[in-house]
Structure 1
Amino acid sequence: MVVDPAQLRLLALIERHGSLTAAAHALRLTPAAVTQQVAKAERDWQVPLVIRGPRGATLTAAGALLASHGRTVEEASDRAEAELAALLGHLSLRLRIGTFQAAALHLLPPALTALRHRHPDADVSVIDVVSGRGADEISAGRLDVAIVASWGRPLTPPPHVRAHSLLSDPMVVVLPDDHPLATGQPADTELHLEQLRAESWVSILAGHAAREQFHDAAREAGFTPTVRFETESYDVAQALVGTGIAVALVSRLALTHAPGTTHRELARPRPYRQLYAVTKADASLTPLADMLIDLLRDVARDITATWEAPPREEQGSSNSPHGA
């Protein structure tokens, strides 16, 4: 026969409390339900297990033997309950975050500061993760939240993974600060990409979604860009633009205001990348993940508000976010 651990535990409780009524109370059942369970156990084991009397209930020799194993079941159940409570308590304070550098520099710090004020005992860790790997890290259970980007197309996460939209990050043109398109017209003048058809370009490496988006935008503008320099970093791209040898298409969030550069907005429709926070579809065991997403959205709204303010000519800055 298949041993039912619940029957063993029931017999151990009857032995401990000396009555079916007390055992029923411990199990949060009615006395009638316990009586039915005892009858079923005796049918299953095919031997009397409990002797009922005016002063309660005692066990037969067979019942006492099974009850000794029931005590082991009960002890294991108590340990399991305590260990699960400890685990859930730990998970409720744990937050493992993955992000790319521009988001780590501009989106994440204000959100983490606010989170720490609310939960100073939070167990937070942050690692660099390229956007293409973020959803996989969530799916594999190695991260609780990943901040990722998708260039021009909606993110389609794998099953059991949820994408929370944070920010639409437009692409801008970064120019040498002495470029005719920078010096010959007001700073709030929007450029059309076709105005830059004759330029040399610094671009993200071939094979990256940002590079594909750049070539698609150039093709729609009626030209094939002359890419002289390739890099995996928007930081490097802007540093090269500062030498005066090329121009670059860079995410607004990733602007470093590198010395020798300025930037101009593109006329609509402009290329953009969409930033997401990615979590498991069921994040109930990590409640800090939902809190962080709300805080990231607050930060994203603040950043967007500064972008919508009247533009002004940038000054040099030592910030160096990674945009890809």
Structure 2
Amino acid sequence: MLTSQDLEFFAVVAAAPSLAGAARALDVTPPAVTQRLKSLEQRLGVRLIDRSSRRLHLTPEGTALAARSAAILEEMKVLAASLAARRGEIAGPLRVVAPLGFGRAHVAPVMARMRQDHPAVELDLILSEDPAGRIRSDGWDVLVQVGPLADSALALRHLAPNRRILCAAPSYLAARGIPRSPGELDRHACGVIREDRADVTLWGFTHLGGETVTIRMRPDFASNDGEVIKTWAVAGLGIVQRSEWDVADDISAGRLVEIMPDWRLPDADVVALLGPRAGRTARLERFVDMLHRSLTPVPWRRNGR
């Protein structure tokens, strides 16, 4: 007969690179792991680990047990959280996916406060340059996105407005001049953030008078890291488009200058999605409410921008 402790033990073993690694994760000695694993195999009547190599390899039976163990343990967590919610307690796993920079600056602090207010909540934050690329996985409860989403079937909550801003350093503009319209950008150095799903060299603008223009530009510098692109722009390499939340302080401090203010890029509002398996539990509702309150009033518009 299997117990929940058996499932938790084998889940750790299955995720480890070796039995020694499993011992470190479990904070026990390697012989203790070996002995417990042998006992589990004897009770089940099957071999779970292939011991023919130095690295840990699961047998087909071990692979099946690892998959079912993960599913059962997850269901147990969900059940425990559901029962806690009935008692009015906020508890259980909180798995959040968020953009790298925005997640560090605005999501992680809210998660810390959530844990402080509700110590039974288990935090798991994944930071990514492309959070939306994880939409079709089920390993998250809340996904925070800056910008439009192709998949709108999931429950969505608007958190804060956020413009995209075209900007450059004063030193660059002093040396190369200030473009007044999209058609002048081909005479300037421009940088982009490389994203797997986005056509980052196609820039679309809408004039305050209603005219729309789309240009295909050739980037002079690029990176998959938005912070790198902003640092290069501040250093005077050229023109970039960045989220308002990211560059508002740089513009206020004079490190960057907004250009072509009469031509607007598409907005990139901040939204939160609830995962397909998450539902509207008290835990997730509380977190999204806390996140929304932390962005109200909008922190990057404190100076009336």
Per the TM superposition, whether the score is higher than 0.5 is: yes
C-alpha displacement of 1:246:
1.7
- Is 1:178 the counterpart of 2:177? The answer is no
Question: Does the Cα contact within 8 Å between 2:115 and 2:123 map onto a contact in 1?
Answer: no
Question: Does the Cα contact within 8 Å between 1:131 and 1:148 map onto a contact in 2?
Answer: yes
SS in 2 for 1:239: helix
C-alpha displacement of 1:182:
10
In structure 1, the residue matched to 2:188 is 199
* Post-superposition CA distance 1:37-74 (Å, at most 9, x none): xxxxxxxxxxxxxxxxxxxxxxxxxxxxxxxxxxxxxx
| Structure-2 change in CA distance of 1:121 and 1:263 (3 Å) | farther
* Post-superposition CA distance 1:3-36 (Å, at most 9, x none): xxxxxxxxxxxxxxxxxxxxxxxxxxxxxxxxxx
| Structure-2 change in CA distance of 1:249 and 1:85 (3 Å) | closer
Letter in 2 for 1:156: D
Identity %: 12
In structure 1, the residue matched to 2:258 is 264
Distance 1:166 1:261 in 2: 27
In structure 2, the residue matched to 1:167 is 160
SS in 2 for 1:215: strand
SS in 1 for 2:162: strand
In structure 2, the residue matched to 1:96 is 95
| Structure-2 change in CA distance of 1:291 and 1:228 (3 Å) | same
TM-score of the superposed pair, with normalisation by structure 2 = 0.57
Which of 193, 214, 217 is the matching residue for 2:205?
A: 217
Alignment RMSD: 3.9
Which of 270, 275, 279 is the matching residue for 2:274?
A: 279
| Structure-2 change in CA distance of 1:83 and 1:133 (3 Å) | closer
C-alpha displacement of 1:197:
4.4
Listed as ranges, the gaps of 5+ residues in structure 2 are: 1-75, 86-90
In structure 1, the residue matched to 2:220 is 228
TM-score of the superposed pair, with normalisation by structure 1 = 0.55
In structure 1, the residue matched to 2:239 is 247
In structure 2, the residue matched to 1:111 is 110
SS in 2 for 1:301: coil
In structure 1, the residue matched to 2:47 is none
Which of 147, 153, 156 is the matching residue for 2:151?
A: 156
Question: Does the Cα contact within 8 Å between 2:176 and 2:188 map onto a contact in 1?
Answer: no
C-alpha displacement of 1:275:
2.3
Distance 1:179 1:292 in 2: 42
Question: Does the Cα contact within 8 Å between 2:205 and 2:264 map onto a contact in 1?
Answer: no
Distance 2:105 2:146 in 1: 14
Distance 2:231 2:105 in 1: 19
Letter in 2 for 1:102: G
C-alpha displacement of 1:224:
3.9
| Structure-2 change in CA distance of 1:229 and 1:121 (3 Å) | same
Letter in 1 for 2:256: T
Distance 1:182 1:170 in 2: 27
C-alpha displacement of 1:292:
1.0
- Is 1:297 the counterpart of 2:292? The answer is yes
Letter in 1 for 2:241: L
SS in 2 for 1:143: coil
Distance 1:157 1:242 in 2: 35
Structural mapping, 1:33-48, within 5 Å: none
Question: Does the Cα contact within 8 Å between 1:174 and 1:247 map onto a contact in 2?
Answer: yes
| Structure-2 change in CA distance of 1:175 and 1:310 (3 Å) | same
Larger CA Rg, structure 1 vs 2:
1
Letter in 2 for 1:307: R
SS in 1 for 2:151: coil
C-alpha displacement of 1:273:
1.4
SS in 1 for 2:119: coil
